[in-house]
Structure 1
Amino acid sequence: MNMSSYRIMKKETKHATILLPKTINIPHSITHISFGTTVIPCKFTTTNTLTDTIAIPADLFDALHIPFETLSPIFFDEDTLHIGPLIGMFTAGLTNSSSEPIGARSSFFADLLSLHPTASYSFVFSVHSIKWSEGLINGLFYMDGKWQEYIVPFPHVVYDRLPNRKTENHLRIQRVKHRLQKEYMIPWFNPGFFNKWDIYQKLKTNKEINTYLPETALFTSFSRVETMLAEHQHLYIKPTNGSLGSRVYQIRYEREEEAYFCRFYQNNKKKLHKYRTLEQLVNHLFKDQQLRDFIVQQGISLLRFDQQSVDFRVHTNKDRSGNWKLSAIAAKVASRGSMTTHVTFGGEVKSLEELFSDPIHRAEMYTKISQAAISLSEAIDKVIDGYIGEIGFDIGIDKEYNVWLFEANSKPGRTIFNHPPLQKYNSLTKNLFLSYATYLTEQSLLRPVEIYS
């Protein structure tokens, strides 16, 4: 399927035929035009008076529910000219505010929707935006620095940006996802949050990438924690479904003092507690929590910058061919006395150039990290159900330059792109997001059996 971009124009005319520029060699078999899931029979003719513009009669333009004139990709299958792709970003928590219709996350979506002009047909919607009986959606578009609502057809593809696991598991959300995928045959990518233990279980049997995995176990007994502490310098206890460093505990056993030390955050403040026994530690810190909801993970002695621990946030995205590409690498430097590098707890974002002044050493680190991230992306893609278009990794490198996977995130944030030297990655990740959405659209039209089986 070939795809090019053209100016989509609404033409006030009595002429019922769509006018195409002579640069489009339209096959004789094309008898329909579509936008999203709306398909309408029509006639086409080419003209010398247009250059890179497709002129659509007003009544047909409106019947297709094309929201506005813009530059857009077009592509053909056996009998239809498709305008798009039309991409819907599914989320929750929409408000009536004209300036912040998605609440505190409005700026996040505004940035994500600020794509190249050829990707203007991307919008945000929620459960309440859908008009099932009409096959239409009240879509939120971000244009010229402001939010605007247009009625559009159901999209070619849906990008899942639900804010949290609780929302994702809501029955009404699940019903909408199932209906759009099964009844309307719409591909849905990045469909769920990763579970740390589930990912570890699925990857540890892969001999090609299991060397990246720190020893990890479910928190099932004190003896297992004692054994792991004896083997490693320190441990982390993490929730299987946590994010942003929430409810993470670092434990060390100091033989000289015969005591356990635990670092953690409480109300965004650093805490360091001392305990005589592990049982005392657990009973105090986990008395209101289910231990089975936590994993115990080997601690790693990380590279340091300015005497502070460093790990790396790495983004990978699928491209126009459905292949994994490295799209961003950022270093995160822990604040003094901190057990994590999360920006929320005072961590500082730096580029590789700022971290590694020697270009040869920097290139070596880039290669080591990128190779690991691509291998991990491919491995996760094979064991997770559904379509994955992007992954955010927290990756560590120890003092012997071994690479370690700390966490994989199916819905990575974009705060690292606020750091000026990393803003170049912002456009790349957004363009790759569009590329993969286009790939999925094409595959759903050309190979529906493979996509929906």
Structure 2
Amino acid sequence: MNTLQNTISISEHLIEMLCIPFEGTIEPIIIGNTLQLGPLVGIFTAGFTESLLRPIGDRSFMFANLIAENNQKNSFIFVFGTHGIDWENETIQGYFFTNKRWIKEVVPFPTVIYNRLPNRKVEVHKSIKRVRQKLEKEYKIPWFNPGFFNKWDLYLKLKNDDSVAQYLPKTLKFNNFDTIEELLSKYHFVYVKPENGSLGSRVILIRYQREEGIYYCRYRDFETNRLQKFSTLQSLINHVFRNMKIHDFIVQQGISLIRYEHQPVDFRVHTNKDALGKWHVTVIAGKIAGKGSTTTHLNNGGRVKTLEELFDQEKAKRIHEKLSTAALKISESLDRQVDGHIGEIGFDIGVDKDETIWLFEANSKPGRSIFSNPSFQENDKQIKKLFLEYATHLSKQGNELEASMK
């Protein structure tokens, strides 16, 4: 060791034996009598292609940005799938992004794994579940984040926590017509949404106009926002839900949201853990619904703005504080109740005309569409920084646990 420069140099032979993928500056971690070079962070996903230009298809750019932002920060980060695992030699052929290009290298099993499986269908596949269980249980490698959240399960968990129950709109399982009628009689309009949906998919708004005795239904049909009216609720359900399993849906109280340019606005709030496992609010973005849309999602014509673009300075500050308080409380509640390590959550939160806060959804693998607004560039960088901080935190915890078991 060169004590003047506080560096450790190792031979090319040892680099080859340790499967160190390329030269770089990494942080030595000493646990007991073991010196670890790392962390070695594996991003677990699916949907790989044969092309090294875009090895993970359309998501290659997202992963490249995440890795590139952290390439100079004492770590090795790579993307891998089930096909790259060599159980016999306990190595993985992973995809690294370095010098502005993707390369494939063989490395040891990671010290921590970041779960970025693309959808629920992949997540429940037998081979995926088998690999996860083996790496997590047999090899004791810590994972974050857990699986995709189920809306109904989350509602039940949060409803029983007095610290956050106030933020929940009334929600029922969609069992029959009476479920919708019950909520319509109290709240004038309701949202019907799949328990396991994402990106605003299959979200349906139903409103009953008493004076006319008519049910209005707004929904998205392929690429078109539709508004239809029905004389009875049964005819509405028979038409709109004809190819759907209604028992997979929930019915949620409608909330009259604050508006911008006559369109409803809700908010995407991201929370992330830091190097100590503490939650931080990392971004708050206003999402304005597209014309005729039931949701504020960008793929349905929505727009993204900062709080300062939506409100005057005083109101922006007030809304920011209310949203931050709610998001941190809900993050801590979920952390206590959901199995596994959670490193990030994306919340869809509404604010009504009285500035009351309402939680619509929580996402364990939040999308990145809001960062298309350049105003959130620094927030994006902070999220990528905290990703590595928390991964390093879990990596050290995992190694300390392993050392204590020897």
Equivalent of residue 128 in structure 1, options 83, 86, 92: 83
Instruction: Show the counterpart of 1:184.
Output: 139
User: Mapping of 1:265-284 within 5 angstroms?
Assistant: 265-284=220-239
Instruction: Show the counterpart of 2:396.
Output: 442
Equivalent of residue 231 in structure 1, options 143, 167, 186: 186
Measure how far apart 1:448 and its partner are. 4.8
Tell me the TM-score normalised to structure 2 length: 0.97
User: Residues of 1 paired with 2:104 and 2:13: CA distance?
Assistant: 20
Check the 8 A contact 1:222/1:278 in 2, yes or no. yes
User: Residues of 1 paired with 2:131 and 2:124: CA distance?
Assistant: 12
User: Mapping of 1:155-194 within 5 angstroms?
Assistant: 155-194=110-149
Instruction: Show the counterpart of 2:324.
Output: 370
Measure how far apart 1:53 and its partner are. 3.3
Instruction: Show the counterpart of 1:298.
Output: 253
Measure how far apart 1:144 and its partner are. 2.1
Cα distance change, pair 103–444 in 1 and its aligned pair in 2 (3 A): same
**Counterpart secondary structure, 1:361:** helix
Instruction: Show the counterpart of 2:384.
Output: 430
Check the 8 A contact 1:119/1:434 in 2, yes or no. no
Instruction: Show the counterpart of 1:395.
Output: 349
**Counterpart secondary structure, 2:399:** helix
Measure how far apart 1:239 and its partner are. 0.3
Q: Which amino acid aligns with 2:400?
A: L
**Counterpart secondary structure, 2:25:** strand
Q: Which consecutive unaligned segments of at least 5 residues does structure 1 have?
A: 1-19, 23-47
User: Mapping of 1:201-240 within 5 angstroms?
Assistant: 201-240=156-195
Larger radius of gyration: 1
Q: Which amino acid aligns with 1:374?
A: L
Equivalent of residue 248 in structure 1, options 178, 195, 203: 203
Structure ranking higher on relative contact order (CA contacts 8 Å, 6+ apart): 2
User: Residues of 1 paired with 2:25 and 2:372: CA distance?
Assistant: 28
Instruction: Show the counterpart of 1:69.
Output: 23
User: Mapping of 1:127-146 within 5 angstroms?
Assistant: 127-146=82-101
Q: Percent identity?
A: 50
1:404 equivalent to 2:358? Answer: yes
Aligned-CA RMSD value: 1.4
1:310 equivalent to 2:298? Answer: no
Q: Which amino acid aligns with 1:130?
A: I
User: Residues of 2 paired with 1:287 and 1:336: CA distance?
Assistant: 25
Cα distance change, pair 114–233 in 1 and its aligned pair in 2 (3 A): farther
User: Mapping of 1:75-90 within 5 angstroms?
Assistant: 75-90=29-44
**Counterpart secondary structure, 1:100:** coil
Check the 8 A contact 2:220/2:293 in 1, yes or no. no
1:92 equivalent to 2:92? Answer: no
Measure how far apart 1:134 and its partner are. 0.6
Q: Which amino acid aligns with 2:78?
A: F
Q: Which amino acid aligns with 1:201?
A: L
Instruction: Show the counterpart of 2:367.
Output: 413
Cα distance change, pair 101–265 in 1 and its aligned pair in 2 (3 A): same
**Counterpart secondary structure, 2:10:** strand
**More helix by proportion, 1 or 2?**
2
Q: Which consecutive unaligned segments of at least 5 residues does structure 2 have?
A: none
**Counterpart secondary structure, 2:216:** strand
**Counterpart secondary structure, 1:423:** helix
Q: Which amino acid aligns with 1:53?
A: T
Measure how far apart 1:125 and its partner are. 0.1
Check the 8 A contact 2:190/2:206 in 1, yes or no. yes
Measure how far apart 1:204 and its partner are. 0.3
Structure 1: 4+ residue segments shifted above 6 A:
none
Measure how far apart 1:141 and its partner are. 0.7
Cα distance change, pair 418–73 in 1 and its aligned pair in 2 (3 A): farther
1:385 equivalent to 2:366? Answer: no
